[in-house]
Amino acid sequence: MLSLIVRRIANSVFTLVLISVVVFAGLELMPGDACTAYLGREGKGAALDACRARMGLDASPAIRFGQWASSIMSGDLGISTQRDKPITEIVGWRLRNTLVLSAVAALVGIPLAVFLGIFAGLRHDGPFDLAASGVALVAMTIPEFVSASLLIMVFAVGLEWTAGVVTIGYKASLPEMAAAAVLPALVLSMILSAHIMRMVRASVIDVFKSDFVLMARLKGVPRQQIIWRHVVPNSLLPVISVIGLTIAWMLGGVVIVESIFNYPGLGRLAVDVVGDRDLPLVQAIALLFGITYVITNMVTDIVALMLNPRLRTYRA
Amino acid sequence: MKSGFATLSAMLRQRSGAVGIVLVIVHLLIALLAPIIIPHDAVAQDAAAILEPPSFAHLFGTDRLGRDIFSRTLLGGREAIVISTLSTICAMVWGCLLGIILALAGGRLDACVMRVIDAMVAIPWILLVMLFVAALGSSTVALIPLLGFSYGLSVIYLARSAALDFVARDFVLAAQVRGESRWTIAVTELLPNIRDSLAVQGAMQWSWIFLAVSSLSFLGMGVAPPTPDWGQMISDARGIMRSAPWAVVWPMVFLSSLIIGVNLSVDAWAKVLSIGQLGRIPQP
């Protein structure tokens, strides 16, 4: 058990190293570098050489990767070319804000999805199931920017309950941030819970058909006990990894949702930064998203491993 | 394996499948016929008719530059449909080939390449595209290989695991004993067996890529103006939702109905071919 967890963690560390290589190589492969992006049309001749020398871009890619990687290890993400500030300073607050947004969305969306999924699955093809599955299909298929615009239309323009865009700065306090995150989190949790609900529903229907449930029914176990003791725990096991994947998906969705609501997080920063051609900052943001993805997947895998003994037995 | 016609009629017998197919066909017809049926020039600006509500002259009203929203909405899916179709073909070709070859090769090669793919999947596609847009500037032609590449990554997983189900079967072993090359085995022995599930996955990929293109257009990095596009129209008209809701509603209705239609059709298709688990979660 412990060795499995250790192996899983080692695995993730290795993936993280590969991610940093991929992010670095991705920028290397592209025409131009941080200096041509920074200088724009003046980027030729002596000015370009001077800039490259100042930023250390004249060294070979392998050496620069080594420097970049070692500075990341010590917690330094480099310096933004356009903003002339350390990237850690720019990114830190915004990463916190994105995590607050994702956390609110997950805390609302996951329990909701699990309950709806269980009830839809227990009475599948009934009126509740048809309604819930229909809504889920629509919620998970239409793009984030359409559902976000619809929610703004209803809650901000129609009912005037909240503002349509977030107006507080990125250094606002945690409760303020969580309050501002309600509408964007609603968009994310709508999509998140639609995916998870469909999965829970399918899994409940599946487990209900299995032999051990038939056995319990033949023994005369009361229906409520069958449901809550046998069906629900077993049907939630395969859902754990799906929850991990959906949260990882949400990190991509965050980019669009944040820029719609003007929410001061990492995703909106990414969109802003692309316009400025601030390559070191883009690199840092891509790396942070990659790290968050790997950690999320690792945690859900370990949770699944602890809750589901069957995963511990056969493994190459 | 069923014939195309039998599959289609089985899909039409399911209520949701019929709705989906009708939606998709209507959208295809609109996309094909739009240049003939639009009443106004979609890019012509009319300073005398800015933000007019729907009327007989302008069925869906006009936008903030006085352009006819009906004409723009009918044309608005065309470019995104073409980009997504070409990107899906790229994604399926490279994803399927690499996935099948890796399943056949197995061993160390398979393990190494899959680890690199794991790392690449961890970076959200939208940042991948942004990285390139930052370097190259936005261009719709560049989007096709970019989206094809990043969505192909998830196809590799699907094709590989589908092919792994067959790699250990006797007929593959027989082909190996006959001395056939890896390439021939992949194309003549494995591909026909996993064709159905890959086709359904391809349709699913199409809808995700279409969403990606629309989202990019929404962010100003996809279909470039003045070519009308739903994502870009929604982003244009979002700020004036209160005073001119018609400008934002119609592109939303068209975009959503196409995506819902495709998803309903894919669900019905998977049910008819009895493909159980669809990889439903789009890669980030």
- Contact of A156 with A261, CB cutoff 8 Å: no
Residues of A within 8 A of B219 (CB-CB) are 256, 259, 271
Q: Enter the tokens of residue A15.
A: 């993936």
pLDDT less than 50: residues of chain A: 315-316
Q: Which of residues 97-116 of B touch A (CB under 8 A)?
A: 115-116
Give the end-to-end CA distance of chain A in Å, rounded to a whole number.
14
Q: What is the pLDDT of residue B47?
A: 73
Q: What is chain B's pLDDT, residue by residue, as a tens digit (284 residues)?
A: 567 788 888 888 888 889 999 999 999 999 998 888 877 777 777 777 777 777 777 777 777 777 888 888 888 888 899 999 999 999 999 999 999 889 888 888 888 898 888 888 888 777 777 767 666 666 778 888 888 988 898 889 888 888 888 888 888 888 888 888 888 888 888 888 888 888 888 998 999 899 888 988 888 887 877 888 898 888 888 877 777 788 888 889 999 999 999 999 988 888 888 775 554 444 43
Q: What is the pLDDT of residue A206?
A: 87
Q: Single out the residue of B183, B192, B184, B201 nearest to residue B163, CA to CA.
A: B192
Q: Single out the residue of A31, A254, A84, A83 nearest to residue B137, CA to CA.
A: A31
Pick B219's closest partner by Cβ from A18, A137, A271.
A271
Q: Which of residues 126-145 of B touch A (CB under 8 A)?
A: 126-128, 130-136
Q: What is the pLDDT of residue B94?
A: 92
Q: Which domains are assigned to chain B?
A: 4-33+60-272 (1.10.3720.10)
Q: What is the ipTM of this complex?
A: 0.81
- B1-39 pLDDT, tens digit per residue, is 567 788 888 888 888 889 999 999 999 999 998 888 877
Q: What is the pLDDT of residue B280?
A: 47
The verdict on a CB contact (< 8 Å) between A249 and B283 is: yes
| Separation CA A100–CA A163 (nearest Å) | 19
- A171-187 pLDDT, tens digit per residue, is 777 777 777 788 888 89
The verdict on a CB contact (< 8 Å) between B124 and A252 is: yes
Residue ranges in chain B assigned as alpha helix (H): 4-13, 15-37, 69-75, 78-105, 107-121, 125-136, 140-167, 170-177, 182-184, 191-218, 230-237, 246-272
Q: Regarding the domain delimited by A93-315, which CATH topology (the fold level of the hierarchy) does it fall under?
A: MetI-like fold (1.10.3720)
The verdict on a CB contact (< 8 Å) between B130 and A144 is: no
What is the pTM (predicted TM-score) of this model?
Answer: 0.86
The verdict on a CB contact (< 8 Å) between A256 and B248 is: no
Q: Which of residues 228-267 of A touch B (CB under 8 A)?
A: 242, 245-246, 248-253, 255-256, 259-260
Give CA A140 to chain center in angstroms.
Answer: 16
